[in-house]
Chains A and B, each alone.
Chain A
Amino acid sequence: MKKLNKIFILTLIISILFTNIGVFADTTTPYRQGFIEGFLIDKGEDEVIIEEYDGTKHILTFNKYPIFSIDTINVSLDEFQEGMEVYATLKNGKISYMEGFSTISPGYIKEGSKIRTGTIKKIDRDQIIIDLDIGGEETYFISPSTILVKDGEKVSFNTLYVGDRVKLHFDSIDTFTPSVIAVQGKEIEIKGLYKGELLSVDEIGEKLIFTNVKVLNNGDWEDLSGTKILSFSEDSSIYIGGVNISLSKLKYYIGNTAYVVVKDFFSDEKIERMVLKNQYETIYLDTIEEMNWYGNSMELSTTHKNLTFNNGTIVIKNGRLLDTYSLEEGMDAFIVGDGRNGIMSANVVYVYNEDINNSNIGQNYLYEGRIDAVFRYSMLLEDFAVLDENEWKSFDDTKELYYDEDTMIYDLENGKIITKEEFYYGEYGVDEDSDFADDLDYEDWYAYIYTDGDRISAIMLQEDRDSLLRQRITNGVAASNPEEHDWVGWRINIDNASDWSSRKDKWMQRKSSFYLNLEEALIIKDGKIIKPYELKATDRLYIVRDSLDAKVVIVK
């Protein structure tokens, strides 16, 4: 009993002693289990005080080579702050590793700071496949909140083309849905397709000199200049027979004919791709009947000719250089074949096809019809036609379309943009059977309407109906800026034009340029009506025209 008392008294003394000096109800748990976790209370040069979650405090020193880390990142002890939660492993009662915890949002990045750049390989509604600059290809998804920006302005996704270069911004590291897509502007378009003989190679100055240079224009090689100097860079690629060759080997091909795609690089002409003619040239103006992806070949519809294609084949569509993956059946093209004895490979496939919508993302339509009635924010179109695959399809029916404050309404007869109120209260759509209309000799007006789905983006109103049968659908490129002619008013010269043939169901290449009158046209760019003088040289245009008078011009 005496012995027990002694033990009790000793325990009491020790307990009181530790309590009095303010230190630590001793538990040996951390030392037994080899780790401690809690809060960092204090830190010195060679020791720290850690308070366990249960309130027990420990003064701890470090072993010879302690490792410190905060949120898995190795740091020095200086980086630790008093009050932060820590976990430490102990060896022989000393800290060998101490980790602190600070990050609230693991994996967080600044909004939009994850960036991918690349070239659009395919567009399929809300999915775009991108050839990434850092290698490989990836499928990304467009959500309703994704913003598309071009030349600093928000634009519709229908402006995207296969072949466009894009910069995608992501808000988190593991998402495949970009928050912002910036698309390259006019710079993406090729400036020209040349054919010439290689005259000289300046490897150090990165210049190639050509002679007897021709340019592809209006479906033929037109003489351009005696010599031409073109810039070259590491991004330029040279092929012969589908094989990529280096610039240093190019000196062996002096005198060879080359097909050269150039882009504008700050007013300089820079080679994007060059294909050297391997054997003999044959030209086809034809439609691709069938693609054989196993044999990398295509069959042409009229000539039934089979041509192979390869990595070097220059494919141009919508003013963009594409890879052969984009070739499709039904494409109407100017094709440069290279070969002999009937065995041909395609060096150039210049595709003429154009449509109102650039991809299946787009829901833009062009309507023509009689205005049956105008309501506030909607209207009824009667006996209307809709442009479908470059042909007017007529409907003996009524179609309701919707307008809003952003809709642009152009009164052709008065030559001015009118307000929504003027449209609503105006006599554009009347009850022709009413006494009111009869007395005042009012009749329904007619309209060309450019829509995004059933939402009217732009509308042009006119008193009389045009004969749609007389109209032709044409696509081409503005050869120069528009000019105001004394007699016909605003007009523009169109190059590289193709007319849609309903009978042949294909684009027919025109062999010459022509002037298109713009005075009575609905001209649309980025969903908005623009004035004729706002068109620019090199604009690619989709045109509905009656003879030389444009009715609708859509800037692509």
Chain B
Amino acid sequence: MKKLPWILGFIIIFNQIVFATPPEFSGGINNEYEYKEVVFLSGEPIVFKGEFKETVKEDEEEKKVTYRFTLEPEDSTIDGRLTRSVTIVTTYTPKTDKGQTIADTVVDKYTETIRIEDDTYRLEDIQFSQSNIIDNRPASDFYSGNIKARKYYSINNDEGTVIIDITGGDVGYENFWGSTETQKIDYIYKVDRSEDGEDNNLSWEGTVQVQVSDSTTKTLKYSDNEANFSSFNGGYTRISNREMVSTYSYNLPTKTDEGLDTSIRNKDSISLKLSMNPNIERLIVPKFRDTVGHWAQSDIEKLYSLDVFEGSETFFIPDTYMTRMDFVKAVVKACNIRVEEEETTNRTSRRSKEEVEEIIFVDVASSDPDFQYVKDAYNKNIITGDADYKFRPDGKLTRAEAITILIRALGFENKAPAPGYQTSYDDDEEIPNWARDAIYMATEIGIVGGDEYNRINANKIMTRAEASAMIVRFLNFLEKDLQKDYRENIIYY
């Protein structure tokens, strides 16, 4: 119970929307209960663990995070203690016209004292600079940045110095279904404990590479209803998980009875992992009568549970065509793209209802109950409509349209090759020019693939079942594929 107050701050944050960011930049990890990191100042790796408190103050322009650590060696035979207090301030500079944000981070306050056996390492100075570019895309933000820092320690006040040069970078993404930040940081240690220029076998140099990742995901799991005499069979639960992993790869001197032998290197790695307790939310129960036994039953029911589909609760009619409006609404809802703007706009529209009628497309009136979805999707460049300013809301959705909407939501179309290329599909000539980049990128990231004849069938009308399956695959991409790409595919290679 002693640690409860320390944990509370974190739980409050976690129950809100949590975006993954490893604490500070020491490679450490935490859950609700404890924090762990590896300390190398003594020339050998020592895992420290203990209490950790994180306080976050954030508005649109600035984020101020304060960390406080009180740690002790995990190995109880080692006598030691680490106290650290850090305040990091990130300033956001939005470039609204480009849909990007620059985030510059500085250290506002940093105090640290580490005692290992008889030696006390006190932080005397720190230089720190971090800058990230955040690409704000409709379905997800993607970011990447660099870190450069230097830490200066004194050893037992005047018995020596430690300089740690820190160079690294981070990559991450944030969306409703998951967020991951992976930091890859190199530390170069230079420890000088020579006395009057004489070597006493206590000076050393070494390197440590840290790869630390904080990741959140939301998954949907189906649970059967244990009782038979119930009004429903079972339903989906949305489970939010958060875990942090870290790998320290080090190249250090070898500890001997005479001190440190710098010629024999101690090369190895230490991995750490901590998970939060999952957060669970039950979702509404689908009761469609016509999806039972359908190949897309689970996809349709997942989306229904997420409140993505409106209309009849009894019949979904999976094999009829999907309309363009229904698909856009489903994507916007499933990715949770519009929540804040809808509220803001609703307030505005009530106030100015009589004033100006807003027109995005000539065939979707501002009084249309779905107008807001179309407006948001248009403003975020998910849809563009036709040249005649029509959206054709009731038009039949084609595969090319669906794929284009999804890839635009990710903002990936710009990553397609320079124009004038052909995709690998045998029916490439059937692909409309406006959909070529999206189809190429959707294939690259594995959201779509060819049929048994290697055709993409770009102009084929999609059924509601097919569209549902595509959206669920898209959500899996946001949740799992991105996590794998930003974590395992970086750390393991």
Contacts and interface: CB of A to CB of B under 8 A. Distances in A.
B6 to A, nearest CB: 23
Contacts of B443: 134
A108 interface: yes
A265 B418 CA distance: 39
Contact of B418 (A106, A188, A205): A106
Q: Interface residues of B toward A: which range?
A: 35 or more
B55 interface: no
A67 interface: yes
B480 A106 contact: no
Given A117-B489, A266-B247, A106 B271 contact: no
B221 A134 contact: no
Nearest to B419: A71
Interface string B439-452: 01001111001000
A187 B492 contact: yes
Contacts of B421: 106-107, 173
A531 B437 CA distance: 53
B387 A185 contact: no
Contacts of B417: 106-109, 173
Contact of A106 (B224, B419, B437, B489): B419
Interface in B38-66: none
B392 to A, nearest CB: 14
B453 interface: no
A65 B449 contact: no
Interface in B87-145: none
B198 to A, nearest CB: 28
Interface stretch (B9-17, B18-26, B272-280): B272-280
B167 to A, nearest CB: 15
Nearest to B270: A267
Contacts of B221: 203-204, 248
B224 A205 contact: no
B489 A167 contact: yes
Contact of B237 (A64, A71, A114, A204): A204
Q: Interface residues of A toward B: which range?
A: 35 or more
A167 B493 contact: yes
B102 to A, nearest CB: 22
B396 to A, nearest CB: 21
Contact of B387 (A67, A109, A149, A165): A67
Given A74-B384, A204-B239, A107 B420 contact: yes
B225 interface: no
A533 B264 contact: yes
A165 B492 contact: yes
A245 B493 CA distance: 31
B50 to A, nearest CB: 18
A373 to B, nearest CB: 35
A172 to B, nearest CB: 9
Given A72-B436, A107-B420, A135-B446, A65 B389 contact: yes
Interface in A202-222: 203-206
Contacts of B384: 74
Most chain A CB neighbours (cut-off 10 Å) among B421, B424, B480, B493: B493
Contacts of A174: 424
Interface string B263-287: 0100110111100001010000000
A114 B268 CA distance: 32
Contact of B492 (A113, A185, A248): A185
Contacts of A534: 267
A115 to B, nearest CB: 8
A73 B419 contact: yes
A17 to B, nearest CB: 37
15 contacts: A65-B387, A67-B387, A74-B384, A108-B417, A109-B418, A134-B449, A136-B449, A165-B492, A167-B489, A167-B493, A188-B492, A204-B221, A204-B278, A234-B480, A267-B271
The 8 closest A-B pairs by CB, nearest first: A106-B420, A134-B446, A107-B421, A71-B419, A266-B273, A266-B245, A72-B433, A182-B493
